[in-house]
């Protein structure tokens, strides 16, 4: 079949060239249309429910909102995980579905189950936007001008947000900070009681007298009149004039018993900037699967259109732009790709010694890349750090097949070669057909070694699946080109002349042959040296630490602050401002500091008032005192140590969201303590955090326990309330209206909607003693009754949040690891915790975070890599027809691993998933080189040569292809080794392993394999 493909290509050369040009054009168009992002889509199929329950405590949210929803949602088809968080006035429920589940089907299942649950009155919300945890694409604050906080928030809510939401690819625009204006009706309790009215009566009257409606059509001769009955409230004065009741000819209006004014709604969060005061922030949330780069460009364009419409002096100030990270990350790998291409072309010229031959081989690179882009487009992939990184990894391997084809063709076109009298096309065809089978086998073997990456699960599967696919696409394209386009170009461009060895090969040959002769003469010493190398590799293996992924430098830092659980919003804001001022004053590398405390408008990140995310926008590294991010983090830690009682942890925007997505936490290591009693799991969590603090390498240990909020508990006496004509619910509703406010409709303005609230006096809301002396209107209209007569009032502590996973409560302890490997840290920490923190019956500990990902990836690779090696053995056996020779080639693999392990150990790198991929690449290259050598040994042996001559002459003749494969692949990775932009941290371990392994593999292929073949290679 391969011979027929080559024959067709050489007989239809014009057609092949036209087809190649067409595919190249299609590939170029596909590249221009590829979505561009920093990362591949790593989010699982995930559905979030966000529910707001004004006034409810975390325990009430758990029992009345979360628990019934969990009962309904547990057991959903394809559901894999159900996590929930109950905090003051908000419930956040996240459901993960099995890989491959359609997001719209999953949302439909959740929506159907959600509709079956009857929730308490006043609880609102539902499905969150169709976004992923990585969808925060663009963040900004509104600066300048003389606008108050409420005016800035109104500008965001009613001008900027609607304009941005119409952009394709935008799921929503999240609003944070400022004050949401509302019409607030504050009753005079004495006047209201004297009139025999309650808060609810006032709210009902406001709702009933605030509506426009249609009444139908009236006939008017030949025409019809549409009847519209208008009665909607337009402003404060309309609210004051609403009639409550008429008694004894006296009209009682709202204004007679209450003050009506504009005021802010209850705030659940705030934003501060640069220590100068509060701010208003917007976050553009991208739709799942949207092209992040295109969305950000469209957002910037729309904001530029809006700029002339904003009030004088007001501007939108971005502080996070995903496109900047995309440009840096993709730029890093693109630069490495271009540098590797130049190095490969130079090496081709040096090894082949002929410009035309080097040019023919080098043309494989752009054509294979364009074919890869075409396949990426067809498979719905994006151009990102990982997919382009796969192309950069493969760049040195793309020319392997073409090199063999062109080298053999050059030899056949030599006037002194056998068959020189045949027509030119016949000689080219014979040359290509001769190497077609081993070339195809070699490419197939390399593709096979990367197939295990497609079986990885979870985060590692989503990150490195695109790497494997682009490598397979590129290699398959290079094989197709080597059997079609390259023979055609060779027939047109290569000259028929006597072939002479280039200068480089003459020098290498002079160095190699004495070494080979020495190895063949002293096989025992070679075997001892190889065995010593293996032992050294084993020793280095045990000295290399293990981790999941190196941390990618996103450019900016994010600091999480945890304060006293009972802190109020005003105090929390003041503390954030103090931290911001200190950071700006003492760390000049910081350009801007933006802190967010509490929950956002959409509830996608429902933090408590004691939790803040402090976003640090950094200056370019050229302006740093020391261009080292770890050093900078230490400088920031020094500042934060001056704030007692404030816990902190370091992360980055995407890193934080990825950790939350996977485990619900934000650290490298997440320790979850499950159990039925909140107090017990909190105590256990605190003790575990204390143990982790003492483990070497622990950093930013943070115990997210639930206890510590100050509660004012009211035990309502149902009988006392009944004697006052009140039900327990009446007392609760009255109290909630007094503090939180009672919704009483909406005033609809031409461009906005303003809520109406009935709420108690602000003085009561800020004075617990006055609240305890509160008088409530009796239900029988006989005056008022003291609250203290209806309820027993006492202070206590309670949970700030209740976290649950698959129906079980848990406390969370998170930690980062610095200065040692992740697996070693967790093993020591587990042993310490098991010995120092005994668990009561019914309680358990689960270790997660990046450690969990590492364990899963290692287990999966340990299962599928041996399968891949088995498949490679079958390919080798079918190629050679000899089990002994197949085992000889596979025997080269451990020696390739030796160099990779030693390179990791010497550079201080850990064995991570990228490093494991480097070992997988080494496996393919080592087998390919062994295949090339043994195949030629067999060809020479078939001519009747003596075995000693076979191995010596075969090794000499195949020195060039073996060295070309190794050096081109290795030097093609050198740019990744020295790259410094975002993403280089992930590619560097892979490059280190491959380059180190190629050194040992190539040396042992050229020296040990001839010795072994002479002894064991005979079929």
State how far the Cα of 38 lies from the Cα of 629, in Å rounded to an integer.
20
State how far the Cα of 188 lies from the Cα of 166, in Å rounded to an integer.
45
Mean pLDDT on 191-206:
83
Predicted local confidence at residue 280, as pLDDT: 94
Query: pLDDT tens-digit profile of 679-688?
Result: 888 889 889 9
Q: What backbone torsions phi and psi does residue 198 show, to the nearest 5 degrees? A: -115, 175
State how far the Cα of 412 lies from the Cα of 302, in Å rounded to an integer.
63
Among 287-291, 835-839, 919-923, 1015-1019, the range scoring the smallest mean pLDDT is: 1015-1019
Predicted local confidence at residue 463, as pLDDT: 83
- Domains of the chain, earliest start first: 44-131 (3.30.70.1430), 181-265+710-799 (3.30.2090.10), 353-500 (1.20.1640.10), 502-543+881-1018 (1.20.1640.10)
State how far the Cα of 904 lies from the Cα of 848, in Å rounded to an integer.
26
Predicted local confidence at residue 166, as pLDDT: 93
- Does residue 604 surpass a pLDDT of 90? no
State how far the Cα of 681 lies from the Cα of 570, in Å rounded to an integer.
30
Query: pLDDT tens-digit profile of 447-475?
Result: 888 888 888 887 788 888 898 899 999 99
Among 92-96, 107-111, 410-414, the range scoring the smallest mean pLDDT is: 410-414
Strand partners, 281: 141, 176
Query: pLDDT tens-digit profile of 223-237?
Result: 888 988 888 888 888
Q: What residue ranges in 287-396 does DSSP mark as E strands?
A: 315-321
Query: Tokens 């590398």 map to which residue?
Result: 589
Predicted local confidence at residue 355, as pLDDT: 84
Query: Tokens 């809520």 map to which residue?
Result: 755
State how far the Cα of 951 lies from the Cα of 971, in Å rounded to an integer.
28
Mean pLDDT on 859-863:
84
Mean pLDDT on 485-492:
91
User: Is residue 305 very low, low, confident or very high in pLDDT (cuts 50, 70, 90)?
Assistant: very high
Among 54-68, 647-661, 886-900, the range scoring the smallest mean pLDDT is: 647-661
3-state secondary structure 853-901: HHHHHHHHHHHHHHHHHHHHHHHHHHHHCCHHHHHHHHCCHHHHHHHHH
Q: Are 804 and 74 in contact (CB under 8 A)?
A: no
| E strand or H helix at 294 | helix 292-306
Predicted local confidence at residue 665, as pLDDT: 63
Query: What is the model's pTM?
Result: 0.83
Query: Residues near 637 by Cβ (< 8 Å), separated by ≥ 6?
Result: 648
User: Is residue 499 very low, low, confident or very high in pLDDT (cuts 50, 70, 90)?
Assistant: low
Among 451-465, 654-668, 911-925, the range scoring the smallest mean pLDDT is: 654-668
- Does residue 916 surpass a pLDDT of 80? yes
State how far the Cα of 779 lies from the Cα of 760, in Å rounded to an integer.
18
Name the nearest CA neighbour of 326 among 363, 369, 294, 356. 294
Query: pLDDT tens-digit profile of 690-733?
Result: 999 889 888 878 777 666 678 888 898 889 888 888 888 888 88
Q: Are 746 and 756 in contact (CB under 8 A)?
A: yes
Predicted local confidence at residue 860, as pLDDT: 85
Beta-carbon count within 10 A of 231 CB: 11
Strand partners, 703: 813
Predicted local confidence at residue 306, as pLDDT: 93
State how far the Cα of 658 lies from the Cα of 264, in Å rounded to an integer.
34
- Does residue 982 surpass a pLDDT of 80? no
Name the nearest CA neighbour of 620 among 139, 981, 977, 322. 981
Q: Are 794 and 785 in contact (CB under 8 A)?
A: no
Mean pLDDT on 484-495:
89
- Interstrand relation of 669-674 and 844-849 (parallel, antiparallel or unpaired): antiparallel
| E strand or H helix at 585 | helix 569-586
- Does residue 614 surpass a pLDDT of 70? yes
- Does residue 419 surpass a pLDDT of 90? no
Predicted local confidence at residue 303, as pLDDT: 95
State how far the Cα of 357 lies from the Cα of 407, in Å rounded to an integer.
8
Predicted local confidence at residue 484, as pLDDT: 93
| E strand or H helix at 792 | strand 791-799
Q: Are 150 and 722 in contact (CB under 8 A)?
A: no
Predicted local confidence at residue 1019, as pLDDT: 63
Name the nearest CA neighbour of 740 among 57, 258, 64, 271. 57
What are 324-327's contacts with CB under 8 Å, separation 24+?
Answer: 324/555, 325/38, 325/554, 325/555, 325/654, 325/982, 326/36, 326/37, 326/38, 326/292, 326/293, 326/296, 326/384
- Does residue 193 surpass a pLDDT of 90? no
Q: What residue ranges in 523-646 does DSSP mark as E strands?
A: 557-562, 590-598, 611-618
Structure tokens at 408: 């053999």
Predicted local confidence at residue 572, as pLDDT: 92
Among 277-286, 415-424, 849-858, 941-950, the range scoring the smallest mean pLDDT is: 415-424
| E strand or H helix at 747 | strand 742-748
State how far the Cα of 953 lies from the Cα of 947, in Å rounded to an integer.
10
Predicted local confidence at residue 787, as pLDDT: 86
- Does residue 666 surpass a pLDDT of 70? no
User: Is residue 482 very low, low, confident or very high in pLDDT (cuts 50, 70, 90)?
Assistant: very high
Q: Are 521 and 294 in contact (CB under 8 A)?
A: no
Predicted local confidence at residue 662, as pLDDT: 65
Query: pLDDT tens-digit profile of 316-330?
Result: 999 999 888 888 888
Structure tokens at 659: 């950790």
How many whole angstroms from its chain centre is CA 669?
17
Burial class of residue 421 in the structure, from the number of CB atoms within 10 Å of its CB (0-12 exposed, 13-18 middle, 19+ buried): exposed
User: Is residue 664 very low, low, confident or very high in pLDDT (cuts 50, 70, 90)?
Assistant: low
- Residue 313 is given by DSSP the state T
Among 24-28, 232-236, 300-304, 656-660, the range scoring the smallest mean pLDDT is: 656-660
User: Is residue 377 very low, low, confident or very high in pLDDT (cuts 50, 70, 90)?
Assistant: very high
Q: State the distance between the two ends of the chain, measured CA to CA, in whole angstroms.
A: 27
Query: pLDDT tens-digit profile of 115-170?
Result: 899 898 888 888 988 988 778 899 999 998 888 898 999 999 999 999 999 999 99
Tell me what percent of the residues of the chain surpass a pLDDT of 70: 98
User: Is residue 616 very low, low, confident or very high in pLDDT (cuts 50, 70, 90)?
Assistant: very high
Name the nearest CA neighbour of 110 among 121, 125, 122, 88. 125
Among 114-123, 171-180, 298-307, 770-779, the range scoring the smallest mean pLDDT is: 770-779
Mean pLDDT on 552-563:
86
Predicted local confidence at residue 77, as pLDDT: 92
Predicted local confidence at residue 47, as pLDDT: 92
């Amino acid at each position: 079949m391969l011979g027929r493909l080559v024959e067709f290509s050489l007989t239809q050369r014009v057609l092949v060239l036209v087809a190649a040009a067409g595919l190249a054009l299609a590939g170029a168009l596909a590249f221009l249309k590829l979505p561009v992002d920093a990362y591949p889509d790593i989010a699982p199929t995930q559905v979030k429910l966000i529910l707001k329950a004004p006034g409810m405590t975390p325990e009430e949210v758990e029992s009345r909102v979360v628990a019934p929803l969990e009962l309904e949602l547990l057991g959903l088809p394809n559901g894999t995980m159900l996590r929930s968080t109950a905090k003051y006035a908000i419930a956040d429920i996240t459901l993960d579905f099995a890989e491959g589940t359609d997001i719209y089907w999953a949302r439909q299942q959740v929506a159907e189950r959600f509709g079956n649950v009857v929730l308490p009155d006043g609880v609102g919300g539902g499905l969150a936007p169709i976004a992923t945890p990585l969808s925060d694409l663009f963040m900004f604050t509104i600066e300048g001008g003389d606008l108050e906080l409420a005016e800035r928030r109104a500008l965001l809510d009613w001008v900027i947000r609607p304009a941005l939401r119409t952009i394709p690819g935008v799921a929503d625009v999240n609003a944070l900070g400022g004050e949401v204006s509302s019409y607030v009706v504050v009753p005079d309790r004495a006047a209201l009681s004297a009139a025999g009215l309650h808060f609810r009566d006032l709210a009902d009257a406001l709702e009933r007298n605030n509506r426009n409606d249609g009444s139908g059509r009236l006939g008017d001769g030949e025409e019809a009149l549409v009847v519209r009955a208008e009665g909607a409230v337009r402003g404060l004065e309309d609210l004051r004039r609403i009639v409550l009741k008429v008694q004894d000819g006296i009209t009682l209006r709202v204004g007679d018993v209450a003050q009506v004014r504009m005021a802010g709604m209850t705030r659940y969060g705030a934003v501060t900037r640069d220590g100068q005061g509060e701010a208003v922030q917007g976050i553009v949330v991208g739709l799942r699967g949207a092209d992040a780069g295109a969305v950000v460009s469209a957002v910037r364009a729309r904001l530029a259109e809006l700029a002339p419409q904003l009030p004088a002096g007001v501007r939108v100030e971005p502080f996070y732009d995903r496109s900047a990270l995309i440009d840096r990350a993709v730029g890093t790998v693109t630069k490495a790709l271009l540098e590797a291409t130049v190095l490969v072309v130079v090496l081709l010229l040096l090894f082949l010694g002929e410009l035309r031959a080097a040019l023919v081989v080098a043309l494989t690179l752009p054509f294979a890349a364009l074919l890869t882009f075409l396949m990426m487009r067809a498979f719905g992939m994006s151009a990102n750090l990982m997919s382009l990184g796969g192309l950069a990894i493969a760049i040195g391997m793309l020319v392997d097949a073409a090199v063999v084809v062109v080298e053999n063709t050059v030899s056949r076109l030599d006037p002194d070669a056998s068959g020189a009298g045949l027509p030119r096309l016949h000689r080219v065809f014979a040359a290509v057909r001769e190497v077609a089978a081993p070339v195809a086998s070699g490419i197939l073997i390399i593709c096979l070694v990367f197939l295990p990456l497609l079986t990885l699960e979870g985060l590692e599967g989503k990150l490195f699946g695109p790497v494997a696919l682009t490598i397979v696409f590129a290699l398959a394209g290079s094989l197709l080109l080597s059997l079609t386009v390259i023979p055609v170009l060779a027939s047109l461009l290569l000259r028929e002349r006597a072939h002479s060895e280039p200068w480089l090969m003459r020098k290498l040959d002079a160095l190699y042959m004495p070494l080979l002769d020495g190895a063949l003469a002293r096989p025992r010493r070679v075997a001892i040296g190889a065995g010593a190398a293996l032992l050294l590799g084993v020793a280095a293996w045990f000295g290399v630490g293990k981790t999941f992924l190196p941390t990618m430098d996103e450019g900016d830092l994010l600091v999480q602050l945890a304060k006293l659980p009972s802190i109020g919003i005003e105090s929390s804001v003041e503390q954030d401002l103090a931290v911001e001022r200190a950071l700006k004053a003492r760390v000049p590398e910081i350009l801007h500091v933006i802190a967010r405390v509490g929950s956002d408008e959409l509830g996608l990140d429902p933090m408590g008032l004691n939790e803040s995310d402090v976003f640090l926008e950094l200056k370019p590294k050229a302006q740093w005192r020391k261009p080292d991010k770890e050093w900078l983090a230490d400088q920031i830690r020094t500042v934060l140590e001056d704030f007692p009682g404030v816990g902190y942890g370091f992360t980055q925007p995407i890193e934080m969201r990825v950790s939350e997505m996977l485990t619900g936490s934000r650290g490298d290591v997440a320790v979850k303590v499950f159990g039925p009693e909140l107090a017990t799991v909190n105590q256990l969590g605190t003790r575990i955090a204390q143990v982790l603090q003492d483990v070497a390498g622990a950093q930013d240990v943070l115990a997210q326990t639930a206890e510590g909020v100050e509660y004012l508990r009211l035990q309502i006496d149902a009988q006392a309330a009944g004697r006052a004509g009140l039900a327990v619910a009446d007392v609760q509703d009255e109290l909630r209206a007094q503090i939180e406010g009672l919704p009483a409709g909406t005033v609809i303005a031409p461009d906005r909607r303003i809520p109406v609230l009935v709420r108690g006096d602000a003085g009561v809301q800020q004075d617990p003693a006055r609240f305890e002396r509160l008088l409530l209107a009796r239900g029988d209209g006989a005056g008022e009754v003291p609250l203290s007569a209806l309820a027993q009032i006492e202070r206590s502590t309670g949970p700030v949040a209740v976290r649950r996973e698959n129906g079980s409560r848990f406390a969370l302890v998170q930690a980062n690891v610095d200065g040692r490997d992740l697996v070693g840290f967790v093993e020591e920490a587990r042993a310490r915790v098991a010995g120092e923190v005994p668990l009561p019956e019914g309680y358990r500990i689960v270790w997660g975070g990046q450690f969990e990902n590492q364990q899963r990836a290692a287990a999966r690779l340990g299962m599928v890599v041996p399968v891949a090696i088995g498949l490679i053995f079958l390919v080798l056996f079918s190629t050679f027809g000899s089990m002994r020779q197949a085992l000889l080639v596979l025997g080269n693999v451990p020696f390739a691993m030796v160099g990779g392990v030693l390179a990791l150990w010497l550079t201080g790198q850990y064995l991570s998933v990228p490093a494991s991929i480097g070992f997988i690449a080494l496996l393919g290259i080592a087998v390919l080189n062994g295949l090339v050598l043994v195949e030629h040994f067999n060809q020479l042996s078939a001519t009747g040569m003596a075995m000693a001559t076979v191995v010596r002459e075969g090794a000499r003749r195949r020195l060039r292809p073996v060295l070309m494969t190794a050096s081109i692949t290795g030097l093609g990775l050198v740019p990744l080794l020295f790259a410094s932009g975002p993403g280089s941290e992930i590619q560097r371990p892979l490059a280190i392993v491959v380059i180190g392994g190629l050194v040992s593999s190539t040396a042992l292929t050229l020296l040990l394999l001839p010795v072994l073949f002479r002894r064991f290679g005979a079929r």
